[in-house]
């Protein structure tokens, strides 16, 4: 973290930290995806938070096509070897879909919107839950 951020957060206890953000008892420190800057946000200025999903549905469409081709090859009784190979390639596309899913936390403030850097679904949900828990405790 920058020295200015450390000075502002001196004495604050870190409640939750992951690559998307750092949650303290009163503040949320978010690294902005667009500008790359770190923003310190007080809980009182957060109006709403959302998890924004980023997926690649084309990978699922390709895998569905490959599974259809594999099923057709299997039912033709002439190309058993081809059906297994094409089905395996389709499985790799499904695994690629699940491994490339990303999420960000969108913060709606009084006068602006801030989107965190991309991370996993679990990281985004854990930040949202930690902020909700801390804002309830301080309210």
Q: For residue range 13-32, what is the model confidence (pLDDT) as tens digits?
A: 888 888 888 888 888 888 87
Question: Are 86 and 69 within 8 A, CB to CB?
Answer: yes
Express each pLDDT in 82-136 by its tens digit. 888 999 999 999 999 999 999 999 999 988 898 889 999 999 999 999 999 988 8
> What whole-number distance in Å separates Cα of residue 74 and Cα of residue 133?
53
Considering the domain architecture, whether residues 19 and 37 belong to the same structural domain is answered as yes
Considering the domain architecture, whether residues 69 and 80 belong to the same structural domain is answered as yes
- Domain carrying residue 114: 3-55+101-138
Considering the domain architecture, whether residues 7 and 43 belong to the same structural domain is answered as yes
Considering the domain architecture, whether residues 90 and 28 belong to the same structural domain is answered as no
> What whole-number distance in Å separates Cα of residue 106 and Cα of residue 28?
13
Q: What is the pLDDT of residue 19?
A: 87
For position 123, which CATH number holds?
Answer: 2.30.29.30
**Mean pLDDT estimate for the chain:** 87
Considering the domain architecture, whether residues 109 and 50 belong to the same structural domain is answered as yes
Q: What is the domain count for the chain?
A: 2
Q: Which two tokens stand for residue 114?
A: 């801030």
Cross-strand partners of 104: 52
> What whole-number distance in Å separates Cα of residue 82 and Cα of residue 68?
12
pLDDT mean over 45-74? 93
Considering the domain architecture, whether residues 44 and 15 belong to the same structural domain is answered as yes
Q: What is the pLDDT of residue 56?
A: 92
> What whole-number distance in Å separates Cα of residue 115 and Cα of residue 77?
52
């Amino acid at each position: 973290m920058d020295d200015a951020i450390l000075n502002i957060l001196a004495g604050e206890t870190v409640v939750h930290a992951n690559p998307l953000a750092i949650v303290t008892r009163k503040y949320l420190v978010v690294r902005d995806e667009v500008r790359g800057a770190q923003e310190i946000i007080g809980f009182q200025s957060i109006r709403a938070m959302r998890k924004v999903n980023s997926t690649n549905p084309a990978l699922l469409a390709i895998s569905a096509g490959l599974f259809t081709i594999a099923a057709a090859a299997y039912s033709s009784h002439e190309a058993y070897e081809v059906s297994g190979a094409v089905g395996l390639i389709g499985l790799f596309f499904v695994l690629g879909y699940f491994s490339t899913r990303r999420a960000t936390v969108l913060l709606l403030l009084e006068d602006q919107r801030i989107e965190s850097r991309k991370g996993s679904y679990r990281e985004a949900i854990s930040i949202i839950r930690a902020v909700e828990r801390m804002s309830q405790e301080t309210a």
